[in-house]
Amino acid sequence: MDIVTAQEMYERDRVAMEAAGLDGKMLMENAGRAVTYDLLRHIRKEHTIVVLIGAGNNGGDGFVIARTLLNLGYDVEAWQVVPDAKITGDAEAHKRIFQASGHPYRLLKSSEDLNTSLGRADVCIDAMLGIGVKGRLKEPYVDIVRLCNEKSIVRLAVDLPSGVPADEGQEDFEAFQAHYTSIIEAPKQSAFLQHTQPYYGEWSVVEIGIPPKQLPDPRRRLWDGADVKRTLPERDAHSHKGSHGKGLIIGGSPLMPGSVAMTARASLRSGAGLIAVSTDPEAIPAISPYVQEATFVEGRDGGQVPDLEGYDGIAFGMGFGRDSKKENVVERLIEEKETPLLVDADGLYLLKGFLPALEKREAPTVLTPHPGEFAHLSGLSIKEILNSPFSHSKNFAEEHGVYLVLKGPSTIITSPDGEQRVDISGNAGLAKGGSGDVLSGILLSLMMQTEDVWDALSNGCFLHGTTADLLVQDGHSKVDLLASDVIEGLSRTFRTFSS
Ligand SMILES: NC(=O)C1=CN([C@@H]2O[C@H](COP(=O)(O)OP(=O)(O)OC[C@H]3O[C@@H](n4cnc5c(N)ncnc54)[C@H](O)[C@@H]3O)[C@@H](O)[C@H]2O)[C@@H](O)CC1
Ligand SMILES: Nc1ncnc2c1ncn2[C@@H]1O[C@H](COP(=O)(O)OP(=O)(O)O)[C@@H](O)[C@H]1O
Ligand SMILES: [K+]
């Protein structure tokens, strides 16, 4: 499923009209009807419904929705919240159809009247503003949004909760707080950002007849379970341990042995053939009982770098420490240019001074920062990153020729040529030390089992988050879930998603 900006969405409407001959009124009818049937899942026959209709095409959708609900026999009050003169174009055409169908609407004169109406209602449908919103809401929208948000009422939004910008990069807004949003055609960037996503509530996407084959590719999409089923490699019956990758994990220290232990165990639980660990010898007794299948390699004494040859993939950094004396390891890893390399956690701090050298590497380099680590690497503030994660990730990945996995509730995975995939699996049970180490292990393992690093990373993020979701659905809670539970839960997720 594509993820679009407002501009890209307008472009889709244009393509539908010019290339396929659909006209705007037809699209609005399709949109309004599709949204109505989607919203009906949240409405009961005995409910009283208020539909709020704004000035643009989102308001036009509102007239279609109100008409469809009235035709179906629901108890609906349609409120046009702007003067008649503001309803123009396709929206005006649908207003005429609404009236010609014998349905009345109420015109907002004072918010007192609307307040009374909302006070009687069970459900409020926000068809005021969509992707056309510019800047902060003006009156009368601010007042109405506040009234709706303070009422104990089911709040459903059409396309976007009014006031929420469609695109990243805008933080100054006030908006309708939806319990559920029925998104038209494709999710907008703001459905995935920390500061705007909560306004959507739950959401899903309705199809309105725009022909997919005619559409430009935004090179930004949601990665879901169907994608995983389609791309996760099968395990060949005649395979041997060498066919599934021999991985090296460099990390851990006497005070942080657990991180590398979890990475190694997660890697093996995700199908890696062999895993070797290079760590401080003092940490080995703490690691080996937890992951008996792993071997240990020498070479961390006195700042020595282990032998890096003969591996199908290397993961570096978890629990390693940030002492700059250890930077020699980074230099050596970059030189080992033909082996895929994943860098996480402390490794990302040590890597910062060597970013320009990454372009020498021939095999893929994968960086897996959370926003704090990405801020350190990029020199941006965490706030800048959270406000515009799509563009900052893209710029960074393209500039340094790396795969960037920017972790969070919506994880954005960017390829060196700027294509993006978003994984929204996972829950706050993962907001705990160790979750990232487990993810690194899964990613290392999947990277070694396919030529397609891009799919491996996307699948790894999905399997990690989905495992946490499955564990929380049954057995665990978000409070008690541990990173090590996620490792043990992988078996169920692989059973579900492997063919
Ligand atoms: N052919 C199309 O273009 C289709 C559009 N659709 C709907 O149309 C929406 C986009 O339509 P529009 O481009 O008309 O945009 P909107 O419906 O978001 O409305 C734009 C209007 O809001 C006003 N406005 C903008 N910012 C404001 C602010 N901060 N405070 C107060 N008023 C503000 C503008 O002056 C303009 O009148 C989509 O979100 C979707 O719901 C659907 O009907 C499908 C087809
Ligand atoms: N609230 C959340 N919802 C969904 N996923 C989350 C949430 N918090 C964290 N995660 C996921 O958990 C992992 C945490 O990684 P990271 O921050 O590196 O943790 P650590 O370094 O403590 O192991 C990432 O994959 C991230 O996407
Ligand atoms: K809306």
Q: Which atom of ligand 2 is nearest to the CA of 435?
A: 23
Q: Which atom of ligand 2 is nearest to the CA of 461?
A: 25
Amino acid 113 reads D
Query: Could you give the ipTM of this predicted complex?
Result: 0.91
As annotated, the binding site includes 57-61, 126, 130-136, 141, 159, 162, 319, 370, 407-411, 436-437
Smallest CA-to-CA distance from 152 within 181, 127, 177, 183 is with 177
**CA gap 168, 188 in Å, rounded:** 9
Residue 430 neighbours by CB under 8 Å, 6+ apart: 464, 465, 468, 481, 483, 486
As annotated, the binding site for AMP includes 407-411, 436
Per-residue pLDDT 10s for the chain (499 aa) are: 999 999 999 999 999 889 888 999 999 999 999 999 999 999 999 999 999 999 999 999 999 999 999 999 999 999 999 999 999 999 999 999 999 999 999 999 988 999 999 999 999 999 999 999 999 999 999 999 999 999 999 999 999 999 999 999 999 999 999 999 999 999 999 999 999 999 999 999 999 999 988 888 989 999 999 999 999 988 777 777 777 899 999 999 999 999 999 999 999 999 999 999 999 999 999 999 999 999 999 775 555 789 999 999 999 999 999 988 888 999 999 999 999 999 999 999 999 999 999 998 999 999 999 999 999 999 999 999 999 999 999 999 999 999 999 999 999 999 999 999 999 999 999 999 999 999 999 999 999 999 999 999 999 999 999 999 999 999 999 999 999 999 999 999 999 998 6
Report pTM: 0.95
DSSP string of 182-229, one letter each residue: EEESS-BGGGGSTTTGGGG-EEEEE--S--GGGSPP-SEEE--HHHHH
Dihedral angle computed from the Cα positions of residues 253, 259, 264 and 266, in that order, rounded to the nearest 10 degrees? 180
Superfamily of domain 6-218: YjeF N-terminal domain (3.40.50.10260)
Number of residues that make up the chain? 499
Q: Would you tell me which CATH number, out of the four given (3.40.640.10, 3.40.1190.20, 3.90.950.20, 3.10.450.40), belongs to the domain 225-497?
A: 3.40.1190.20
**CA gap 392, 210 in Å, rounded:** 30
Dihedral angle computed from the Cα positions of residues 124, 409, 221 and 33, in that order, rounded to the nearest 10 degrees? -10
C-alpha of residue 118 to centroid of ligand 2, in Å: 40
Q: How far is CA 424 from CA 230, 469, 485, in A?
A: 18, 11, 20
C-alpha of residue 162 to centroid of ligand 2, in Å: 30
Q: How far is CA 372 from CA 381, 385, 403, 408, in A?
A: 8, 9, 17, 11
Phi, psi of 6, deg, nearest 5:
-60, -45
Angle at 164 between CA 160 and CA 169, to 5 degrees: 125
Domain borders along the chain are 6-218, 225-497
